[in-house]
Chain A
Amino acid sequence: MDSSAFTDVFDEWTDSALEWVSDNGESLFDYIRQVLEGLYDGILWLLQLPPFYLIALVVALIGWRLVNVWFALLSGIALALCFWMGLWPETMSTLALVLTATVIALAIGIPIGIAAGFFTALDRFMEPGLDLIQTLPPYIYLLPAIALLGYGPATALIATVIVAVPPAIRLTSLGIRMTPKEFIELGEALGVTPAKMFFKIRLPFALPSIMAGINQSLMMAFGMVVIAGIVGSGGLGETIYGAIRTLDIATSINGAIAIVVLTMVIDRITQSAARLGTGRKA
C-alpha cells in the first residue's frame, strides 16, 4: 500500500530533520535546558530548605488568612500527611515544577495578554492558535519537548508551559478589555499620563480576571506536570507512573492522595486570593 511507503519516508524525514536540528541547535537547546533546570533547581532548593512542618505551617497560615480556619487546619494536616506517607521530596519537586512552569507561563502570558487587550487585531490573530492549543489533548505536547530536550525536568517544564500559557493570555486580555469606558474617559479628562492610566485605572480593573488566569494556569500546570512523569520529570507523576506500571496499589494510592491534596490546597488558596482581590475592588 502506498501509505506505508509514505510513513517510511515521513519517519526517515522526521528523524533526519530532528538530527539536523539537534546537531545545529545543540548549544541553544543545552542552554535552554540549563536555564530551565537552573530555575527549577533553585525553587526546589528553596522548598526543601525548611523542614516539612514549617511549610505545612506557612501554608496553613496563608489558608487561614485567605480562606478560613477549617481549611487551614485541614490543609496543614493534609500536607503533613504527604510527609508521613514518605512522599515529601516528590511532593516538593512536583510543587517546584508547577511553580517554575507557572512563573514562566505568566511571564509569557501576561505581557502578551496585555498587548492583546490593547490591540484587538493581535487578539483576533491569536484566537485560533489559543483555541487549537486548548482543543488538543495535553499529552501530545510532550512530543516536541522530548524530541528537542530529551528526558528530564526541562522537557516537562516546556510542555507544561505550553499548556499553562493560553488561560493566562486569555484572561489577562479579557481583564484589560473589561475596563469600563467611563473610567478611561475620566482618566483622559483628568489628563493622566498613559503609564498612570495603565497602572492606576486599567490594571486594578483587570486584576480579578488576571488572578483567575493565574489560578487556571496553575491548574493546567498541575494536570500536565503529573502526566510529564512519563518523560522523567521526577516528582509525584513519576512515582505514580512507576507504581501503576508495576501495579503497586499502595504506592499509587499514596501518590494520588498527595497529588489531590497539593492540587486542592493550591487551587482553594489562589481562588480565595482572586476573590479577595475582587471583593476589595467592588
Chain B
Amino acid sequence: MNLSTLQFSPGAFLAPSVDWLNTNLHPLFAAISYLVETVLSAIEAALLFVPPYALIAIVVVLAFFAVGLRAAILAGLCLGFCLLVGLWTASMQTLALVTVAVMISVLIAFPIGVLCSRHKTLEAVVRPILDVMQTVPPWVYLIPAVMIFSLGRVPAIIATIVYGIPPMLRLTTLAFNQVPKVFIELGSAIGAPPRSILWKIEIPLAKQTLLVGLNQCILLSLAMVVLAGLVGAGGLGAEVTRGLTRMEMGLGLRAGLAIVAVAVLLDRLSRGLLDRDRLPKAR
C-alpha cells in the first residue's frame, strides 16, 4: 500500500451530518438563535438607551462604592475613552456580548464545578476534557459554532460561552476543594441542611477563588468576543477586523485602544472586588 497516495477527509464525512443537523434540528437552532438574539438585543438596548454620559456616571458611582476611588477614576477614564474615539456603540455591543457570555458560562460552569468537587469520579471524567479544551487554540471554537449558526452574533456567543467554561469550572472545583473540612463538619454537627451549608459556609469561604475564576472567565470571554469579530459578531472586534482587512489604520488603532480600555476596565473592576474582599480578612 502506498501511504502517500492515501486520501481521507473526515470533513467530507462530517459535512453531511452537519447538513442533516441543520435541516432536521433547525427549529431547535432557530430557537436558540432567537433566545440569544433577544437577550443580547435587550442588554444592548439597555446599555445604549442610557445616554453615554449618564452611563459613565452610573458606572463610576457603582465602581466607587463597590471597589474604591481608584477603580472609579479608572472606569471613568476607560469608558470616556471609548466615547471619545467614537466607538461607543461598538464598545457597548462588545460589553453586551461579554456580559451575556459570562453569565451563561458561569451558570453552566458553577454547578458542574461544585459537583466535581463533591464527586471525584465526575472530576476524573471532566478533567481530561478541560485539559483538551484549554489546549486547543481559541479559533477552533468558532468553527463548529459557525457551521451550525452561520455567521453573526449567535455563533460568536456560543463559542465564547464554551471557551469561558473551563477556567470557571476548574477554579470552582478548586475553590470548593479548598474549603476546610472542619467548617463543613461543624455545619452538619449543628444540623444545618445541605442548602445552608452550601450558601452560608462553603460559598463565603470559597469566594476568593471563585472571584479569580470569574476574572479569568471575563478576560478569556473578552478575547474570544474580539476574535469573533472575524465571523461577523459586530462590536469592537469587527472594527479591528475592518481596520486590518481594509488597512484603515486609524480605525484599527482606535478600536484596538478601545479594546484595551474595555479589557482594563473589566479586569480592574473584577480584580478590585477580589482585593476589597481580601483586605478586611488580612487585618
Contact = CB atoms under 8 A, between A and B. Distances in A.
Report whether chain A binds chain B. Answer: yes
A52 B7 CA distance: 13
Interface string A54-86: 000000000000000000000000001101111
Contact of A136 (B143, B146, B260): B260
B107 interface: no
A252 B86 contact: no
A257 to B, nearest CB: 6
Nearest to A266: B135
B227 A249 contact: no
Contacts of B253: 10, 14, 143, 147
A253 B14 contact: yes
Nearest to A260: B136
B250 interface: yes
Contact of A264 (B4, B9, B135, B263): B135
B3 A252 contact: no
Contacts of B231: 244
Contact of A223 (B14, B137, B146): B137
Contacts of A188: none
A136 B140 CA distance: 20
A7 B263 CA distance: 21
A4 B254 CA distance: 12
Given A10-B254, A135-B219, A247-B150, A86 B227 contact: no
Contacts of B139: 223, 226-227, 229, 237, 240, 259
Interface in B76-116: 83-86
Given A3-B83, A10-B254, A143 B243 contact: yes
Nearest to A2: B84
Interface residues of A, number: 58
A141 to B, nearest CB: 9
A264 B132 contact: yes
B259 interface: yes
Given A136-B260, A143-B253, A231-B244, A86 B230 contact: no
Contacts of B15: 249-250, 253
B72 interface: no
B9 A250 contact: yes
Contacts of B259: 136-137, 140
A256 interface: yes
Contact of A254 (B9, B135, B245): B9
B147 interface: yes
B264 interface: yes
A259 B241 contact: no
Contacts of A86: 7, 9
Interface string B243-269: 111011111111010011001100100
Contacts of A15: 249-250
A194 interface: no
A229 B243 CA distance: 15
A84 B11 contact: no
Contacts of A138: 223, 227
Contacts of A252: 11, 143, 146-147
Given A11-B251, A143-B243, A263-B137, A244 B4 contact: no
5 contacts: A6-B85, A84-B6, A136-B263, A244-B146, A252-B143
Closest 6 CB pairs of A and B: A11-B250, A250-B11, A253-B11, A137-B223, A7-B86, A254-B11
